[in-house]
Chain A
Amino acid sequence: MTLNWKTGGLLLGFVFFLAVLLVKPIGVSTQFVILDGIVADAVSPGFITQTEDGYTSTNAYMAKLDGKYAKSAANPLNYSFIFVLAMMAGAFLSVRARGGLERGEGTMPALWRANFGDSAAKRYAVAFLGGFVVLYGARLAGGCTSGHMMSGMMQTALSGYIFAAGAFAAAIPVALMMYKKEA
């Protein structure tokens, strides 16, 4: 089912190239902030406000870079936000086209089940905590696996190398400790 690494790697590399050729390097994690901004402004109007020459927010992070994030949250029909929605559509169609998700994978991956058992609640709790730490870290770093590691190292950005060093320095020990049984 999974593409051979040679085909898959060439295909993935070509997509990253296409993005920088036609528009700009791929990145994802900023859009979690944009969605937070959209929700915050809907729940408490005035979170984002229009100024004479753009947008700003009562939150210092949303307002930084002359309100760049505030502007995107005020206008969700922008390239980067639509890009993430299109990613979801692309993944959805690709899974459908290959006959759907493998049995039993909908609640938890087999590797998790082999190491921690069948409890969905336990898996969901760790996925939630993992998500919290991943996005907190990605925002602190200013990018994630896509923006820093893939797009960054591809452009020979120093920051991409620093990020990848940190990510693998933590990820490998954690995976070795958590996933001792193979599946």
Chain B
Amino acid sequence: MEIILAIVIGAAFGATLDRIGATNPNFIGKMLNLTNLHLMKTILLAIGTGSILMFGGQMLGLVDVGHMSVKAAYVGVFIGGLLLGAGWAASGFCPGTGVCAAASGRKDALFFIAGGLLGAAAYMANYPAWKAAGLLDNVAGGKVTLGSVPGASYEGLTGIPGDLLGMALGAVFVMVAFVLPERLTPEKGLAQPAE
């Protein structure tokens, strides 16, 4: 049963990534150099939609709180985020969109995957050093959510009801998606008005 769900949800995710332009490095590059925020608006709306549906479903008792999976917070999360961000901008791929891009016929994505397999292997070899340096030690409680989600096995960073906070933050993501302009940098190549 789980394998069938993996096939159905995985295929839907891959097809959606293609249709929103996330597997296209042009859109990633234009989002990150702030010239076309279309994909950013898509992502923000998606996070908001997912959040509202999940926490709303939990409040109605339709979604199993036990399906949540919260990752730990530690200094390495930020350092790893910086590294991923740099490589993401340079290549135009992240792990999920990279494999989908390769499947859609982008040969450069195959080189991204090869580099990724080597990078993951390098981390596997270096893992004890990061651990010994204390950079994988939990901060702020580790696996925490911003509010305290009723029935969840994770601690809340604050005592605010986590499901309500999740709905509210979801609404904020949706609003930001709407108010964010299509681009943040001035259009180049447009004639400047004469003095």
A residues near B (Cβ < 8 Å) are: 2-3, 5-6, 8-26, 28-29, 32-33, 35-36, 39-40, 59-62, 64, 77, 79-80, 82-95, 98, 100-101, 105-112, 120, 123-148, 150-172, 174-176, 178-180, 182-183
Contacts and interface: CB of A to CB of B under 8 A. Distances in A.
Interface in B121-145: 121-125, 127-128, 130, 140-141, 143-145
A158 B71 CA distance: 8
A94 to B, nearest CB: 4
A156 to B, nearest CB: 4
B79 A166 contact: yes
The 5 A-B pairs with the shortest beta carbon distances in the complex, nearest first, are A166-B81, A13-B49, A9-B45, A130-B91, A141-B80
B34 A14 contact: no
Nearest to A16: B50
A21 B169 CA distance: 19
Interface residues of B, number: 126
A61 B130 CA distance: 11
Given A134-B83, A134-B93, A178-B89, A79 B2 contact: yes
B153 interface: no
B114 A13 contact: no
A67 B18 CA distance: 34
A125 B90 CA distance: 11
30 contacts: A2-B21, A14-B49, A15-B9, A17-B54, A21-B57, A26-B13, A83-B13, A84-B99, A87-B103, A90-B100, A91-B104, A95-B103, A98-B18, A120-B107, A127-B93, A128-B114, A131-B91, A132-B115, A132-B119, A134-B83, A135-B116, A137-B80, A138-B120, A142-B71, A153-B173, A154-B170, A157-B71, A159-B77, A166-B80, A176-B33
A144 B43 CA distance: 14
Contacts of A35: 117
Contacts of B8: 86
